Structure 1
Amino acid sequence: MFPLERQNKMLELLKLKKVLKMTELKEELNISMDTLRRDIQSLVKQEKVEKIYGGIKLKESHFGESSMEERMVSNLQEKQSIAYTCSKFIQDGDCVFLDSGSTTYQIAKFLQNKKKLTVITNSFPVALELLNSDIELIIIGGKVRKEERSIVSYEYLFNFSQLNIQKAFICASGITLEKGISDYNVEEAITRKKMIELSSEIYVAADSTKFGKDVTVGIAPLSEIDHIVTDQNVDKTFTRAFEQINTNLIISPICN
């Protein structure tokens, strides 16, 4: 198979699966890893694909929210380091909210050894991760948002004002000093607004690519956010700017 044929085959596969791992491509195309890397580099130069942790995805040709499948593997090392840092703020006996999102899903992986912990979530991946642990698990009842693997419209089945949530870990698609945190989906934003209102301490878990973006729906100004936990790639202009406001910017160390 000629290089152009292989590269077109990769693009066809990506249109079906959105994200492909290097090992999958190597097996599917029956080529060496060196040949695969050369083909991928060619597609990257043509701006047809983007490299992600352990694989590739189609380059986004429009602005909008990427799929949960894509976010689960993109910037994975950064998200793991953020999650590890967030887990250090969760103590035995806490009642915490873990938002739907690829970074908060990583937080769940670091909670298995916590004692007498209650986790409230609207995320199916978080719930499944904690299902066989000793953690008390509460799922928000409401409408299922299938593409996000989450539950929204909390008011359908449960009065959450009765809960004493010490810490909420919220995701965001955009963070700016002027507008605060934002997201693409109205229902997700409404759920996050409610959890911010009910929780004593608010953490936003977001990798550095979210900074400087103000997307579709505003969630909360920074004055309502206690801490933002991000990775070491955040631009220094933001770290300096956060020194002038009350929201605490926490830079997570690299997680080995």
Structure 2
Amino acid sequence: MSMRSKERHARLLDALNAGEIDVDDLARRFDVSASTVRRDLQHLSKNNAVRRTYGGAILTGHVAETTLDQRFAVQGKEKQAIARAAIDLIEDGDTLILDAGSTVAAFGKLLLQRRLRIITNNIALLPFLAKAPSIELVVLGGALRSTSMSTMGPLASEGLRRLTADRAIMSADGVVSGRGLCEADLDQVALKSLMMQQAKEVIVLADAGKLGRAEQDAWAPLPPRWTLVTGAGASADQRKLMEGAGARIVVANA
């Protein structure tokens, strides 16, 4: 599947968050033919992400998780800006825990000339970090989760319990004031919660579209004080809610 198709699929899911939308409306929105939209919807329905209706589609009750490539295709420039802003929050000599996720992967690729100790379950980053001359790399083992290219489960948790860090750099499907980080399953949030417990400081990287987003049903509560690095598109209301939940807000310039 091409990157353009992956991006369109991810944007189709975002469009369907508003409710049922018909094929012609989607075709106009994405400047493609109606037949292209029908093929996209057919693909998404096979993955149980949407349910086809007469003339259109609607999201199923549980939103299917997109792949790492699909997530990066949406708001890629914003994710890069967030990653650059987050670099200013770390210091040489730090020990970092790097979570899985496309924005954390963008952040990790900016660390290659830094002097750091990195603990991670983010398999997508290993080919880059392994070549960095001044990075001590600790990889958490466990079961592979192919959609996020990460490890998880009891083996990952057991290894992490033996380690501590200065900062945990976190991602999520959604960030909700008073609830925390939203993910697709309990194994994900169990490891995320432990990552945050093992670090002195928690930094969450989340584009504006993830703020207030609660489509998945597993949650990792945030600590009383934490840092949110988000995009310039984050609304004033969302920023205020996050500050009320203990966040220090860093807004990334595009």
TM-score by length of 2: 0.75
Say whether the 8 Å CA contact 1:18–1:58 is kept in structure 2.
Answer: no
C-alpha separation between the residues in 2 aligned to 1:156 and 1:104?
18
Check conservation: 1:203, 1:225, Cα contact below 8 A.
no
State the number of aligned residues.
Answer: 217
* Structure 2 residues not aligned, in runs of 5+: 9-27, 51-58
Distance in 2 separating the partners of 1:196 and 1:83: 19
Is 1:231 paired with 2:231?
Answer: yes
2:160 match: 160
Query: CA–CA distance in 2 between the matches of 1:187 and 1:236?
Result: 33
Check if 1:41 corresponds to 2:31: yes
The 1:108/1:132 distance shift into structure 2, 3 A limit, reads: same
Judged with a 3 Å threshold, the aligned counterparts in structure 2 of structure 1 residues 202 and 157 are, in CA distance, closer, same or farther, namely: closer
Alignment of 1:24-35 (within 5 A): none
Provide the rounded CA distance (Å) in 2 between the counterparts of 1:164 and 1:155. Answer: 16
Look up the match of 1:5. Answer: none
Distance 1:203 1:157 in 2: 20
Alpha-carbon shift at residue 88 of structure 1 (Å): 1.3
Amino acid at match of 1:121: T
Change beyond 3 A, Cα 1:158–1:180 = closer
Residue in 1 aligned with 2:114?
A: 114
Q: 1:40 to 1:243 in 2, by over 3 A?
A: closer
**Counterpart-to-counterpart distance in 1, 2:241 and 2:72:** 29
Residue 17 of structure 1 deviates from its aligned partner by 9.2
1:19 partner amino acid: K
- TM-score normalised by length of structure 1: 0.74
Question: Corresponding residue for 1:250?
Answer: 250
- Which amino acid letter does the alignment assign opposite residue 6 of structure 2? V
Kindly tell me: are residues 178 and 129 of structure 1, through their superposed partners in 2, closer, same or farther at Cα, counting changes over 3 Å? same
Q: 1:96 to 1:154 in 2, by over 3 A?
A: farther
Secondary structure of the equivalent of 1:106?
A: helix
Please give the alpha-carbon distance, in whole angstroms, between the structure 2 residues aligned to 1:148 and 1:136.
23
**1:72 shift after superposition:** 2.4
The one-letter amino acid paired with 1:77 is K
Q: Deviations over 1:203-252 (max 9, x none)?
A: 1111111111222101114x445111110111221123334442212111
CA distance in 1, matches of 2:77, 2:243: 26
Uncovered stretches (5+) of structure 1, i.e. residues with no partner = 1-12, 22-37, 51-56
Matched residues in 2 for 1:49 and 1:96: separation? 42
Partner of 2:218: 217
Query: Structure 1 residues 207, 49: closer, same or farther in 2, change over 3 A?
Result: farther
- Look up the match of 1:90: 90
2:224/2:245 contact within 8 Å kept = no
Separation in 1 of the partners of 2:69 and 2:31?
A: 22
3-state secondary structure, aligned to 1:160: helix
1:124 counterpart residue number = 123
Deviations 1:5-63 (A, max 9, x none): xxxxxxxx67x995279xxxxxxxxxxxxxxxx9951448x96699xxxxxx9796332
Show the counterpart of 1:240.
Answer: 240
CA RMSD of aligned residues (A): 3.1
Report the identity percentage: 22
